[in-house]
Amino acid sequence: MKVSQETIHERSKLAFTAIGYGGAPIGNFNGTFTESAAADMVAQSWDQGVRYFDTAPGYGNGLSEYRLGHALRTYDRSQLVLSTKVGRVLTPSLNAPNQDGQYQNIPPLVASFDYSYDGVMRAVEQSMQRMLTDRFDALFVHDCDRFTHGSGQPEYFRQAIVSAFPALEALREQGVVKAIGFGVNETDVMTEAVKTTDSDLCLLAGRYTLLEQEPLDELLPICAERGIGIVLGGVYNSGVLATGPVVGARFNYGPAPKDVLAKAGRIEEICGRHGVALPAVALQFAYAHPAVVSVCIGARNAVQQRRNAELFETPVPQEVWDDLRTAGLIREDAPTPAA
């Protein structure tokens, strides 16, 4: 497989490269970038053949959007696919903290959740200005899940369905965007969202991986049946499938628990038996499902980004998939790459 391999999403006619560029790191996630270093990351991904670029207002209070938009300004807009997200409105405030969770040295803006119709319209206009564009290819309703909102999630989700999504439908009708849907971290929330709306495309982060295959039960079959494309994020489960079960390995943004480390170790042992790296298998497994149009990867530096491309293009013997299935480490109904 090649990074530049394209999947044409039938509903939107958008052409997605197998690997997409994940913009969270250049929003200063878990570390800082200079403006030139951020631009270099985008340029390197383009040179690798990547033509799908994803970001969000929540990635460093608009910093990722700003940097990505400025870095892409010199490229032919018709040759790339660009997505961002709605659900947060950014308001200038000189007294705003310069850190938000794992995002560091961020602009003096206050992010507020707003899934209202008007809030979505404001958010899209703000994103256009930061990114120097008059349109988006895809827009996702972002983070209307329990991980983000806790006990308040049901009301935020209701607002996302009855207000935010109709706003995206209006923008789709106006030609401002071609594909609309949701970007969340939880399978059941995504399943309910696609059942309730006429989504074209969704971004599921961290839930369909070598370690987690619950979306095979209902979500992915629904998407395949209705032609809803899936962009996968977090296919390394935020670390452990990239590093293996090492000391300090991360899983879902926290320390990996013992059972996860043990399972990752068993998968890594089978990969090693056939001379392939665990992250190569993780990347290629995620992309193999027919509903998946792209695997979106965020890299922290040029070396890591180059390595991800190499891993995706590494040949994986059929015996790896056979052994993983025999060991019960991937489900019987999980698609794997063709020989």
- What are the catalytic residues? 54, 59, 85
Q: Please state the three-class secondary structure of the chain as a single string.
A: CCCCCEEEECCCCEEEECEEEECCHHHCECCCCCHHHHHHHHHHHHHCCCCEEECCCCCCCCHHHHHHHHHHCCCCHHHCEEEEEECEEEEECCCCCCEECCEECCCCEEEEECCCHHHHHHHHHHHHHHHCCCCEEEEEEECCCHHHHHHHHHHHHHHHHHHHHHHHHHHHHHCCEEEEEEEECCHHHHHHHHHHCCCCEEEEECCCCCCCCHHHCCHHHHHHHHCCEEEEECCCHHHHHHHCCCCCCEECCEECCHHHHHHHHHHHHHHHHCCCCHHHHHHHHHHCCCCEEEEEECCCCHHHHHHHHHHHCCCCCHHHHHHHHHCCCCCCCCCCCCC
Identify the CA nearest to 24 among candidates 278, 234, 230.
234
How far apart (Å, rounded) are the C-alpha atoms in residues 242 and 233?
13
Report the Cα 52 to chain-centroid distance in Å. 11
